[in-house]
Structure 1
Amino acid sequence: MTAVAEVRARSWWIASRLVLAGTVAVALLVGGTALRVWQVAREDNRPSSDAIVVLGSAQYDGRPSAVLQSRLDHALALYRDGVAPRVVTVGGNRAGDRYTEAAAGARYLRGMGVPGGEVYPVEQGSDTLQSVRAVAEVFAAHGWRTAVLVTDPWHELRTERMARDAGIDAVGSPTRSGPVVQTRWTELRYVARETAGYLYYRLFHRSSDAGPPVA
């Protein structure tokens, strides 16, 4: 073998090992993140806190969608158990909507008997990151620090990370009902979506379209 051929062979060997190492590293990162999404989805943390925060989802002319209602019902149960003295609903609206997600959620909770003064609608945010940052501003204005976040199980890891990055001492108590938790296929699909969404956020510190459904 000539010297040139030896150099080429050596270069190919090094390049192939680098590609293999990179592939393994990416696989470990993605797999580890997916495992963490799955683990956090099964946690149920409900310490005494300043507020329960309900992440928004779709509403139809003031009526919560099935996804949003499952979150609101879970938040209502936490409120009645004395986890926090108030509930913060969050989420903006789409073009043409008369109600925001936050307003629809607040209306639902008041209709279920939560006093109006203990429901705080935060009507900003078209994605999780915008919503969490809007909630952080409200927390800062009121001197609140701790929160229990209510959203879908697979959405918890990303939401908790965003909330902590925004200055909220947050833990999660995810829903156990609703369209997102009905089948094993649904579970796998949204674990994959939230794995992508979480890694995108950690890499770019921006939200993504890999979040939970809004219907």
Structure 2
Amino acid sequence: MKRLLTLLFWVGILYVGYIGYSIWTFEGDRPLESTDAAVVLGAAAYYDKPSPVLKERVNHAVKLYKDGKVDHVILTGGKGEGAPFAESEVARDYAVEKGVPKEDTFVDLTSKITEGNIINAKLIGEEQGFKDYTLVSDPLHMKRSMAIANQINLDAVASPTETSAYQSLETRVPFFLREWAFYFLYKGSLIVPDSLKPDDWVPVNR
């Protein structure tokens, strides 16, 4: 019994280490073919300005749009506590400022977490008849995001921003540890759309 417990312990340690390594090294697909929409996962906004993290995510989606890799851009993220604007509204205004036509953008005003970002993006896409998507976020955020997309049967490819605001070890390590923990919390809870009340994730169009 002691040997078995020791073996299970080391298997668990190796598995946890493997997940951490896969999060740190995840690069995504960077698709050559176009998809119907880029989905920009939410990040903080400062009043009516995107945070550095959100700005780089939107910059990447704008580049995908201008390069003909995506036909539309879905911006996600609701209002933070006391915020006058939703993250998605701020992100959309910035994308339009950078040259994406407003009619090719959609916003989700209600989601608070990554699961909600992706579920709402799928609901918006279904309303518009979209079939496939490109998920846009920071590299360290992509493994969990793609796991969520796969779980809800979202036909998506990952395209992490190459200009992430998390560049130095000082910024990357805390974000990595957060994602490492969140990945296991997500896998432990296995949140799926059917387990949520319909009003929890209400997409908002243009």
Give the structure-1-normalised TM-score: 0.83
Do the aligned residues in 1 keep the contact of 2:37 with 2:72 (CA within 8 Å)?
A: yes
The answer to whether structure 1 residue 52 and structure 2 residue 38 are counterparts is yes
State the Cα distance separating 1:44 from its structure 2 match. Answer: 4.4
State the Cα distance separating 1:172 from its structure 2 match. Answer: 1.0
The answer to whether structure 1 residue 186 and structure 2 residue 190 are counterparts is no
**Equivalent in the alignment of 1:65:** 51
Structure-2 separation of matches of 1:107 and 1:74: 15
C-alpha root-mean-square deviation of aligned residues, in Å? 1.7
SS of match in other structure, 2:70: coil
Structure-2 separation of matches of 1:90 and 1:151: 11
State the Cα distance separating 1:29 from its structure 2 match. Answer: 1.3
Rate the CA distance shift 1:197–1:139 in 2: closer, same or farther, 3 A.
same
State the Cα distance separating 1:201 from its structure 2 match. Answer: 1.0
**Equivalent in the alignment of 1:195:** 180
**Which amino acid in the other structure matches residue 116 of structure 1?**
K
The answer to whether structure 1 residue 91 and structure 2 residue 77 are counterparts is yes
**Equivalent in the alignment of 1:18:** 4
| Number of aligned residues | 191
Structure-1 separation of matches of 2:179 and 2:139: 10
Do the aligned residues in 1 keep the contact of 2:34 with 2:71 (CA within 8 Å)?
A: no
**Which amino acid in the other structure matches residue 158 of structure 1?**
R
**Which amino acid in the other structure matches residue 89 of structure 1?**
L
Equivalent residues in 2 for 1:140-179, closer than 5 Å: 140-179=126-165
SS of match in other structure, 1:148: strand
Structure-1 separation of matches of 2:164 and 2:147: 23
Structure-1 separation of matches of 2:174 and 2:29: 21
Higher alpha-carbon deviation: 74-83 or 19-28: 19-28
Do the aligned residues in 2 keep the contact of 1:89 with 1:120 (CA within 8 Å)?
A: yes
Query: For residues 25-53 of structure 1, what are the alpha-carbon distances to aligned partners after superposition, in whole Å with 9 as ceiling and x for unaligned?
Result: 2112111111221232x234223101011
State the Cα distance separating 1:18 from its structure 2 match. Answer: 3.1
**Equivalent in the alignment of 2:66:** 80
**Which amino acid in the other structure matches residue 98 of structure 1?**
P
Could you tell me which runs of 5 or more consecutive residues in structure 1 were left unpaired when the two chains were aligned: 1-13, 208-215
State the Cα distance separating 1:64 from its structure 2 match. Answer: 0.3
The match for 1:205 among 186, 190, 201 is: 190
Do the aligned residues in 2 keep the contact of 1:200 with 1:206 (CA within 8 Å)?
A: no
Could you tell me which runs of 5 or more consecutive residues in structure 2 were left unpaired when the two chains were aligned: 193-206
